[in-house]
Amino acid sequence: MSRKKVAISVGDLNGIGIQLALENHTTISKEVEVVYCIDRNMLEQAAKKLNLPIPADFQTMEDIAEHFEIEPGVVSKESGAYAYASFVRAVELARNKEIDAITTLPIHKKAWELAGVAYKGHTDALRDFFDAEAIMMLGSPKMYVALFTEHIPLKEVAGSINEKALTRFLIDFYRTAKPSTEVGVLGLNPHAGDDGVLGTEERIIEKAIENAHKELGTEIFSAPLVPDVAFTPRVRANYTHYIAMYHDQGLAPLKALYFDEGINVSLNLPILRTSVDHGTAFDIAYKGVELSSLSYLNAVKYISDN
């Protein structure tokens, strides 16, 4: 079978992404044909700073964005602009069907903001580019967590839980993630509201689950789970897929358990996009630190497997 073709956006060049790309090129090339959304000049600059060789078959492309001086670990407008342009190029290649899928290396959200990018992250941007309700799901085959709300301030979470939006989310999630066993849906409040004593959002969640079950014709979603026990080992034994009401409700337990191996997948889009689950790791960028590559390798593997 021929290898799938994948475009890698290089993320924030002041961070660890380009080290991961250079160090793992030979490994991932065995599974997929890979092109990198970085130009030769910036690649040579990064490789020199990392003291790493550039593999002979490392395919680059020109005219991504303005060149700039890489400053390891620094949040910069220039690096943010390059990271965004690299991502946009990868998306264009996917949209034009020149490649089969994209894998994104990590960007820095403040650097995007400094560069005038209106999006909080890749998923947010993809939602707009494709006018589709992209779903952010992170994890590994042992445990995936999809996020109903993601990059919004915590104080806005409760007000975002509405029946229509959650019903749509559950239906889209079921159709695109295709879970084969019951999905654990988390409540929002302590003790899932304790029958209204500690909050009432669970009533909305229950109604959305009921609506989704009617539409889907299958009772695939659990009743709202008590969040503080949902990830204990005995409860985890019942679920491979969870739906969290907000970012840290799902990602704190997920990363505590599976940070190294976890990936990020964008569901419900016309293109396939995967990513590492970690960020730019500015604290260790260009310092000769041995990185964990598992998330990156798994993000690419997900594409060759799907």
Ligand X SMILES: NC(=O)C1=CN([C@@H]2O[C@H](COP(=O)(O)OP(=O)(O)OC[C@H]3O[C@@H](n4cnc5c(N)ncnc54)[C@H](O)[C@@H]3O)[C@@H](O)[C@H]2O)C=CC1
Tell me the C-alpha to C-alpha distance, in Å, between residue 117 and each of 2, 79, 111, 255, 306: 37, 12, 9, 27, 31
At a CB cut-off of 8 Å and minimum separation 6, what does 240 contact?
141, 142, 143, 144, 179, 181
The reply to whether 17 sits near ligand LD2JLWAY by the rule CB under 6 A is: no
Among residues 85, 93, 166, 281, which is the contact residue for ligand X, using CB under 6 A? 281
Q: Say whether 273 counts as a known binding-site residue.
A: yes
The reply to whether 222 sits near ligand LD2JLWAY by the rule CB under 6 A is: no
Residue 140 main-chain phi, psi, to 5 deg: -145, 170
The reply to whether 301 sits near ligand X by the rule CB under 6 A is: no
Of 3-11, 116-124, 189-197, 226-234: span binding ligand LD2JLWAY (CB under 6 A): 116-124
Q: Which residue is nearest to ligand LD2JLWAY (CB)?
A: 121
Among residues 80, 106, 187, 250, which is the contact residue for ligand X, using CB under 6 A? 106
Among residues 4, 89, 109, 241, which is the contact residue for ligand X, using CB under 6 A? 109
The reply to whether 250 sits near ligand LD2JLWAY by the rule CB under 6 A is: no
Contact characters 257-276, ligand LD2JLWAY, x per CB under 6 A: -------x----------x-
Provide the terminal-to-terminal Cα distance of the chain, rounded to the nearest Å. Answer: 13
Partner whose binding site includes residue 283, from ligand LD2JLWAY, ligand X, none (CB under 5 to 8 Å by kind): ligand X
Among residues 19, 79, 103, 123, which is the contact residue for ligand LD2JLWAY, using CB under 6 A? 123
Partner whose binding site includes residue 123, from ligand LD2JLWAY, ligand X, none (CB under 5 to 8 Å by kind): ligand LD2JLWAY
The minimum distance between CB 169 and ligand LD2JLWAY, in angstroms, equals 16
Among residues 54, 158, 171, 291, which is the contact residue for ligand X, using CB under 6 A? 291
Q: Say whether 255 counts as a known binding-site residue.
A: yes
Contact footprint for ligand X (CB under 6 A): 16, 106-109, 264, 275-276, 278-281, 283-284, 291-292
